[in-house]
């Protein structure tokens, strides 16, 4: 998270670029006033809302506080507002691993499926956009708070073995024509800021983990080895990702994904050879090609892989070395790719887990996807729009800064200041996590 230095570049040798506070236009201010008037106060909402007035002492407390609108270069970062925080009361073991994920309120059902297969700790950021000058904003926001509260209570009441779910609900006031521009990376940072475990599993909400993975990873001996790999050896552990053939449709694809998730490696191979499941993602093969699926199916031990630009695997990683996600990426494209690129620039080693895997559950394309591509969804027949080229330009600028050692140490995020005010930052800048 915030700003681990790229090895080989000293702080004095780096020309630091700061995110500067953006000028808040009169229109934005007026819109926010329209939204706020009549909104329930934190005490009035039925959620466990954390609006702490005391100085921030940890990342989560800092992340709960309002932030000013910010820009980096010419790009304005998402201006998210914490509306409610729901924490699991279930016990957390010392050997826990936290899934970091995010979704919109209408995709809570995906979060439920992921929780059911995981059984461990999950930190989820849930998004609820609000429109400028919409007189129903207050009512809609309260509806969202109630829906998330009910959902969290349902997860807490699930039988033993269900996930221990922490949720932060965030709103953002945006133009109606920009509702498609989902702030993936800003949401991931909010979930990341609330994680407490030493090891994280970075996973999108439309994926489920292989059967028994949580138990495998948290067993004492395996967990000790995982901590050594990620926190000492600075390895990133890759979990191969699979999806169903797009021709199956949603219902058959969902059933096949469930069968794959419950399969062992030998059973999964048969499904792979029959093309019931394939490498994720068919329309962007470079995203997971470096994992080397043929080698994985033949492997009984972890193996290293060579990073190539465009790689975006789902990974287990040490929390203390994890950089912030770059919040300039919103909508569809380059958001995870550049996070993995940054980890490679920090000299992490990518190691593939020989047994564990994740499976994508099919769903209708998002508005962000539809704004980024035209043509047949999730196939090589789709064509990119101008938005994807815009994200690519930002990505290339970020690559150049990382190579030159000029990328901000504290990351391109509205939460950059949180690293600077954590208790132990002054003593040891690499250790923000306590």
Tell me the CATH number at 367: 3.90.550.10
At 362 the pLDDT is 93
Residue 1 inside a domain? The answer is no
Sign of the Cα torsion 334, 338, 340, 344 reads: positive
Q: Where are the beta strands (DSSP E) in 90-157?
A: 97-104, 121-131
Q: Is residue 10 part of a domain?
A: no
* Any domain includes 181: yes
Distance from C-alpha of 305 to C-alpha of 298, rounded to nearest angstrom: 15
> With pLDDT > 90 as the criterion, what percentage of the chain qualifies?
63
Question: Can you give the C-alpha Rg of the chain in angstroms?
Answer: 21
| Residue 22 is assigned to a structural domain of this protein | no
- Token output for 415: 């939460």
User: Residue with structure tokens 């059984």?
Assistant: 119
Cα pseudo-dihedral 255, 166, 321, 119, rounded to 10? -40
Q: Summarize pLDDT for 336-384 with one digit per residue, the tens.
A: 999 999 999 999 999 999 999 999 999 887 767 667 666 665 566 667 7
5 compared with 244, residue with greater pLDDT:
244
Indicate whether 153 belongs to any domain: yes
- pLDDT (tens digit per residue) in 238-272: 999 999 998 898 999 999 999 999 999 999 999 99
| 359 domain-assigned | yes
Tens digit of each residue's pLDDT (9 = 90 or more) over 17-36: 444 444 433 344 444 444 44
The most distant pair of C-alpha atoms in the chain lies apart, rounded to whole Å, by 61
Segment (H or E) for 239 = strand 235-239
What total of structural domains would you count in the chain? Answer: 1
User: Which distant-in-sequence residues (6+ apart) come within 8 Å of 243 by Cβ?
Assistant: 257, 277, 278, 279, 280, 281, 282, 359, 360, 362
127-131, 142-146, 208-212, 248-252: least confidently modelled range? 248-252
Q: Is residue 432 part of a domain?
A: no
For position 138, what pLDDT does the model report?
96
Mean of per-residue pLDDT scores for the chain: 84
- How far apart, in Å, are the Cα atoms of 157 and each of 84, 105, 214? 19, 20, 20
Q: Which domain holds residue 48?
A: 40-421
- Could you tell me if residue 100 is inside a domain? yes
By mean pLDDT, which of 51-65, 174-188, 306-320, 387-401 is the weakest? 51-65
pLDDT greater than 60 at residue 55: no
pLDDT band at 419 (very low <50, low <70, confident <90, very high): confident
């Amino acid at each position: 998270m915030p700003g681990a230095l790229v090895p080989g570049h000293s702080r004095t040798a780096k020309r630091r670029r700061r995110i500067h506070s953006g000028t808040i236009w009169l229109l934005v201010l007026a819109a926010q006033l329209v939204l706020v008037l009549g909104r329930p106060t934190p005490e009035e909402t039925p959620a466990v809302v954390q609006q702490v007035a005391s100085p921030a002492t940890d990342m989560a407390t800092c992340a709960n506080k309002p932030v000013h609108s910010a820009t980096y270069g010419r790009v304005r970062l998402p201006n998210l507002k914490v509306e409610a925080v729901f924490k699991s009361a279930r016990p957390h073991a010392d050997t826990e691993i936290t899934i970091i994920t995010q979704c919109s309120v209408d995709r809570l059902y995906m979060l439920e499926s992921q929780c059911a297969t995981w059984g461990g700790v999950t930190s989820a950021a849930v998004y609820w956009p609000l429109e400028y000058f919409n007189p129903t904003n207050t009512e809609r926001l309260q509806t969202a708070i109630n829906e998330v509260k009910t959902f969290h209570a349902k997860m807490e009441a699930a039988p033993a073995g269900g996930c221990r779910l922490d949720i932060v609900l965030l709103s953002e006031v945006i133009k109606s024509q920009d509702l498609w521009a989902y702030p993936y990376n800003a949401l991931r940072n909010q979930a990341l800021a609330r994680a407490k475990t030493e090891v994280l599993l970075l996973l999108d909400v439309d994926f489920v983990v292989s059967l028994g993975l949580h138990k495998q990873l948290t067993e004492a001996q395996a967990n000790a080895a995982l901590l050594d790999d990620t926190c000492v050896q600075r390895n990133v552990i890759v979990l191969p990702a699979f999806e169903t053939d797009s021709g199956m449709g949603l219902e058959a694809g969902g059933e096949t994904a469930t069968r794959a998730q419950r399969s062992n490696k030998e059973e999964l191979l048969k499904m792979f050879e029959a093309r019931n499941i394939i490498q994720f993602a068919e329309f962007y093969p470079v995203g997971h090609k470096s994992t080397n699926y043929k080698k994985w199916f033949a492997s009984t031990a972890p193996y290293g892989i060579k990073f190539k630009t465009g790689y975006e695997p789902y990974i287990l990683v040490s929390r203390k070395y994890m950089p912030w996600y770059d919040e300039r990426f919103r909508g569809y494209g380059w958001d995870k790719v550049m996070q993995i690129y940054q980890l490679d620039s920090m000299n992490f080693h990518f190691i593939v887990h020989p047994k564990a895997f994740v499976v994508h559950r099919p769903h209708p394309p998002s508005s962000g996807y539809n704004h980024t591509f035209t043509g047949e969804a999730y196939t090589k027949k789709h064509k990119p729009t101008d938005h994807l080229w815009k994200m690519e330009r930002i990505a290339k600028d970020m690559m150049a800064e990382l190579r030159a050692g000029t990328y901000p140490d504290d990351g391109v995020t509205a939460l950059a200041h949180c690293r600077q005010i954590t208790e132990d930052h002054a003593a040891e800048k690499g250790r923000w996590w306590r």
